[in-house]
Structure 1
């Protein structure tokens, strides 16, 4: 199941005001790494400069006020996965994982038959709570990222709780999970690290490191400026972490960067991530190369609109292809005040 990704300059059909944060060009992007998709390979009808699919905002998919499980009035960090050809009798073609962030959080599920929606809230949310005895009891759990692990034919859920700890749980149906282990804590990084969260894991070969999986995550320290960290693993369970950020906020003129996602295109590898609203509220892209040795900061990937529902912030993208059409599912709106939306390429 292959996905095609890209970039966008404006999400709306109208002419919202623009904040040109960074600009750059690169060959068009397509994602692989086991994401939600149909397997069709097509070229986008329109392309942004550099050949990226030109994602346009379509609509909200999930709004907190319309959800039965809504403990804090906010949701974040969508992860979309195609399950129609992986699971027996799934609730829908696509599973959309998300969570509130503030306590108590809770990993949640919605399902649907099209990436354009509608999505139906799973009635027994949360599927993972902040109290999972005997494994942990924390203030909150959040930021679900689900990887299809082809080696064992399971859905692997990476999530954080607290902000300095990333955990792994495993499932054969995408609903009922078995706890596995802690995979990342702040103590695995240099002294002074305070946060290691918002992890996404991708199938990506790094032969020189004897690794088959890559993790991207947000790292924070006493400077209180968030960067993109990374690690690598042979099995997705036991990890080695770079002791310096993969991408620093200062590299791209931002105060904070987060929500990183791995993309591949034309025999190279890229990372897309978002900035804080104070420095544009947009998504940027950096080419890191297949071996992660490059730092080619290419600029704007998706520019947020001033209009609702984005209100100057687009963040935490997840990508999928539905019947040959590329989509991006993402946070729209001010942090902890927004919705989960979809854009079409």
Structure 2
């Protein structure tokens, strides 16, 4: 229900977006296979890969409306369903988010519909930047929560500092127990300066003996951010590819980040936000079921020029309710945004 959906949805034609999508698709496809049907009216009715187009519905959370608001900004939403997972849950859905700047803090809101309303948990943050004896850092941020069916727990991956991704675990999705560091710059090539904004997904890679995949943002001394990845048998101990999965230069961006895994039709895709110096959209790359492909397919979601996007959409998370796919995302200028909701066009 709340994990990446794999059923293609097709909405009405949206010719207003066609020229931009096709142009960026072509610009991003250098040296790769372009999406079949690119540039046709039929292809414009859906995002590349046959995924639905999403249209803005409403803003779910604004910093000014929150009791815990240390910095006036929030980022990186992650939505998870609680039904059949958490007994006595506060709502059918948990929505996790965080401020980016110090002190950050992993926060929770809850509601009974993906379309809201969501209520702020009164004791935010549920994870702070000082958790003795495990760590004391300037900030913690970028929460990604995975329902781990093996452990029957909510597993929270988060960063703090930007060099370190950590894991905490919970039975109720509210009260967490610290586990361990799962990723740091020391595990990546010399010169790596950031390993953050990680998301983890249940995805089998039999040839690697893996059942989980991690996607994250990688930075180095060139100060251009790429998407990197790793794999794990248990979600705790990881092996990381030492080369980027998606390079910023491959898609004509200054930086790429906020990656999310989607699957459909026996293949896997990575969607991620771009920074071209002013605003940014969400792009999509097909990596294949075994992550052996690198087919850059262009624009997955075209940000609106008006509010709340103001030309920037980032860090998408996905959920499905009553068979309808939704995208929850970071909307607006970096460090000035809110959490917004888009629904698949029918």
TM-score for both structures, normalised by structure 2: 0.89
Question: Partner of 2:5 in structure 1?
Answer: 4
1:68 equivalent in structure 2:
67
In the alignment, is the contact (CA less than 8 A) between 1:7 and 1:301 conserved in 2?
no
Q: Does the Cα contact within 8 Å between 2:48 and 2:297 map onto a contact in 1?
A: no
The 2-side partners of 1:3 and 1:336 are apart by: 26
Matched with 2:157 is 158
**Structure 1 gap ranges (5+):** 28-45
C-alpha RMSD of the superposition: 2.2
Alpha-carbon distance, 1:22 to partner: 1.6
- Give the distance between the partners of 2:270 and 2:48, measured in 1 at CA: 18
Matched, 1:117 2:127: no
Matches of 2:4 and 2:247, distance apart in 1: 27
Query: Contact 1:58/1:344 (CA < 8 Å) preserved in 2?
Result: yes
Provide the rounded CA distance (Å) in 1 between the counterparts of 2:71 and 2:18. Answer: 31
The CA deviation at 1:50 is 5.3
Q: Which residue pairs with 2:99 in the alignment?
A: 100
Match of 2:31?
none
Question: Which residue does 1:25 correspond to in 2?
Answer: 35
Cα 1:279/1:300, change in 2 over 3 Å: farther
Give the SS at the match of 2:117: coil
**Separation in structure 2 between the aligned mates of residue 55 and residue 206 of structure 1, nearest angstrom:** 29
Counterpart contact for 2:35–2:48, Cα < 8 Å: yes
Instruction: Show structure 2 runs of 5+ residues with no match.
Output: 26-33, 38-44
Aligned to 1:331: 330
- State the match for 1:216 in structure 2: 215
- Judging changes above 3 Å, is the alpha-carbon distance between structure 1 residues 148 and 49 closer, same or farther for their aligned structure 2 residues? closer
Distance 1:290 1:208 in 2: 11
- Report the counterpart of residue 235 of structure 1 in structure 2: 234
CA distance in 1, matches of 2:209, 2:176: 28
Give the drift of 1:239: 0.5
What's the CA shift for 1:278?
2.0
SS at match of 1:337: coil
Contact map agreement 1:164 1:185 (CA 8 A) in 2: yes
Alignment of 1:1-345 (within 5 A): 1=1, 3-4=4-5, 20=21, 22-23=24-25, 25=35, 47-48=46-47, 51-278=50-277, 281-345=280-344
Task: Determine if contact 2:95/2:108 at 8 Å carries over to the other structure.
Answer: yes
Distance 2:323 2:287 in 1: 27
The 3 A distance-change label for structure 1 pair 61 and 5 is farther
Q: Shift in Å at residue 84 of structure 1?
A: 1.5
In structure 2, distance between residues paired with 1:85 and 1:226: 38
Which residue of the partner structure matches residue 31 of structure 1? none
Structure 1 residue 25, shift from structure 2 partner: 2.9
Measured after TM superposition, the shift of residue 47 of structure 1 is 3.6
Distance in 1 between residues matched to 2:90 and 2:80, nearest whole Å? 12
Which TM-score applies when normalising by structure 1? 0.89
More helix by share: 2
Distance 1:246 1:14, change over 3 A: closer
Please say if residues 199 and 218 of structure 1, whose CA atoms lie closer than 8 Å, have aligned partners that are also in contact: yes
Deviations 1:100-121 (A, max 9, x none): 0100000000000111111000
Cα pair distance change 1:125/1:103, threshold 3 Å: same
Q: What corresponds to 1:35 in structure 2?
A: none
